[in-house]
Amino acid sequence: MDLTNDRTSINFALRLRRLLIRASGSIFVWSWVIFSFAILGWIIVAAFKRNDTVFADLWALPDSAEVGNFGDAWGLLNLTRTSINSLLTVGGGTLLTMALAAPAAYALSRVGFRGASGLTGFFALGIGIPVHSIIIPLFLGLSEAGLSNSLLGLTITYVGVSIPFAVFLMTGFFRSLPTELEEAATMEGAGPVRIFFSVMLPLARPGMVATSIIVAVGLWNEFLLALTLTFDEDKRTIGVGLLNTFGAMRYTSNWVGLFAAVVIMLAPLIVLYTWMSRRIIEGLTVGATK
């Protein structure tokens, strides 16, 4: 008789516990989200503050928006010059990376041949090699080839260091694609080259977009290679520009200008990210899960 009653009370306790867990989980998740937002927000707000208040009252909102900080930062970043260089090297490097990595990844993942797995591993090995540990021999080699202090040399270097990760991600993509179309095309007598360009490439487009964005974002933020491999005023990239700005602001105590420079550099990333984040993330995950 009391059985039902008992069960509901158990159910109730269970449900309450579950509710509590879910609530505390939500709190955890949302405080993490808010925290991440706050850090980003703090940088952006600081970019509008004044030097004498930015560190004195960390929490305070600025009493006036110092838009002039952005003018300072713009000039110091030498943005007209550095952004062109960055577009050339990052854009060119990303395109070339994709042009080389996509066919390689396709062949490694879909054209079964002996040694494919080993070769894939060999490419993946490159992800684990830190750039600055190879920078000196790399520089010597480039200067031997007449490619030091040149944007082309930097671009090719960007391609070389991006290929491992791009191949790694793209092999994942190609593996995840259905095989039927490919088989049908083979029946029709199409060779691998044609199958790649007319069947696989269109199918792999989302993956290519995601991979190229991941590669481009990484290169956009890069400064070590650019700093070491080029040394002309007019060959600086935006990453090196940020480093120089960091220096200038630090030694002249113009911290708000530094934050403004960071915001300027972040702006295209934020736009790109809000627009494409789903694709970036999905691209990343297909590469990792397949």
Partner 1 sequence: MNEIVTTRLKPVSANLSRHKGVRRHAAIFIAPALAVYLLIVIAPSIGTLWISFTKWKGIGDEAKFVGIDNYKQLWNNDTFRGSFGRTLTLLIAGGFVVFLFAFIFTMLIREMRSKKLIRAIVFFPNVVPPVALAIAWGVLLAPRNGLLNEFLELVGLTSQTRTWLGPDLLFRSIIAGLVWIYTGFFVTILMAGVDRIPAYYYEAAELEGASARQKFTRVTLPLTWDVLSVAAVLWVILAIKTFEFIYAFGGSGTDPSASSWTLPVHVYVVALGNRSPILALGQGSAIAVVMVALVGALIFLTRRVMRRAVVEF
Partner 2 sequence: MRNNKRKGIRGPLWRFLAVLLAVAMMAAACGDDSDTTTDPPETTAPATDASTGDGDTMDDGSTPDDGSTMDDSSDGGTETPAPAPEPSTIRYFSMWNEGEPQQEVLQASIDAFEADTGHEVDVLWGGREILTSVRAALTAGEAVDLVDLDAEPLVGALVNTGETQSLAGILDMTIPGEDVTVGDVIPSAFLDAYAIDGEPHLIPHSVVSSGIHYDGSRLAELGIDPPGTWDEFIAAAVAAGENAVQADGLIDFYNAYWLYWLIVRHGGPGSFHAAASDTTGELWRSAPMRRAVADLVKLVESGALADGYEGSSYPLAQQAWAAGDGTFMVNGTWLASETSSYASPGFEYRLLSFPTVDGGTESAELYQIGWVVPNAAEAPEAAQQFIAYALGRDRLAGIADKAKNITPRSDIGVPPEIQDAADIFASEPEVHRIYDGVQGDLPDYWATVFLPLDDQLFFGQITGDEFIEEIASATAEYWANQ
Q: Which of residues 249-268 bind partner 1 (CB under 8 A)?
A: 250, 258-259, 262, 265-266
If one counts every other C-beta atom within 10 angstroms of the C-beta of residue 238, the result is 29
Cβ-Cβ contacts under 8 Å for 234 (sequence gap 6 or more): 81, 85
Structure-token pair, residue 109: 């993942």
Q: Name the DSSP letter for residue 60.
A: P
In b/e form, how buried is each residue of 67-103, taking b as 16+ CB within 10 angstroms? eebbebbbebbbbebbbebbebbbebbbebbbebbbb
Distance of CA 288 to the CA centre of its chain: 15
Q: Answer for the pair 256, 248: CB distance below 8 angstroms, yes or no.
A: no
* Residue 76 contact among partner 2, partner 1, none, beta carbon within 5 to 8 Å by kind: partner 2
Quick note: the x/- pattern for partner 1 over 84-123, rule CB under 8 A, is ----------------xx-xx-xxxxxxxx--xx-xxx-x
* Residue 143 contact among partner 1, partner 2, none, beta carbon within 5 to 8 Å by kind: partner 2
Judged by CB under 8 A, the residue of 4, 80, 191, 232 near partner 1 is: 191
Q: Which of residues 167-186 bind partner 1 (CB under 8 A)?
A: 167, 171-172, 175, 179, 182-183, 186
Judged by CB under 8 A, the residue of 13, 19, 58, 87 near partner 1 is: 58
Q: Should residue 92 be labelled a site residue for partner 2 when binding is judged by CB under 8 A?
A: yes
Give CA–CA dist 190/200, Å, rounded. Answer: 12
Q: Which of residues 8-47 bind partner 2 (CB under 8 A)?
A: none
Q: How far is the CB of 2 from partner 1 (least distance, A)?
A: 21
Give CA–CA dist 220/269, Å, rounded. Answer: 9
Cβ-Cβ contacts under 8 Å for 151 (sequence gap 6 or more): 85, 88, 89, 230, 235
Give CA–CA dist 278/145, Å, rounded. Answer: 41
Which span sits near partner 2 by CB under 8 A: 105-113, 115-123, 125-133, 238-246?
Answer: 238-246
* Residue 289 contact among partner 1, partner 2, none, beta carbon within 5 to 8 Å by kind: partner 1
Q: Name the DSSP letter for residue 234.
A: G
Structure-token pair, residue 114: 């002996």
Q: Should residue 151 be labelled a site residue for partner 1 when binding is judged by CB under 8 A?
A: no
Which span sits near partner 1 by CB under 8 A: 61-69, 71-79, 80-88, 270-278?
Answer: 270-278
Give CA–CA dist 203/173, Å, rounded. Answer: 10
Q: Should residue 163 be labelled a site residue for partner 1 when binding is judged by CB under 8 A?
A: yes
Q: How far is the CB of 65 from partner 2 (least distance, A)?
A: 19
The binding site for partner 2 (CB under 8 A) comprises 51-52, 55-56, 72, 75-76, 78, 88, 92, 95-96, 99-100, 139-140, 142-143, 145-153, 155-156, 159, 197-199, 201-202, 227-229, 231-234, 243-245, 247-255
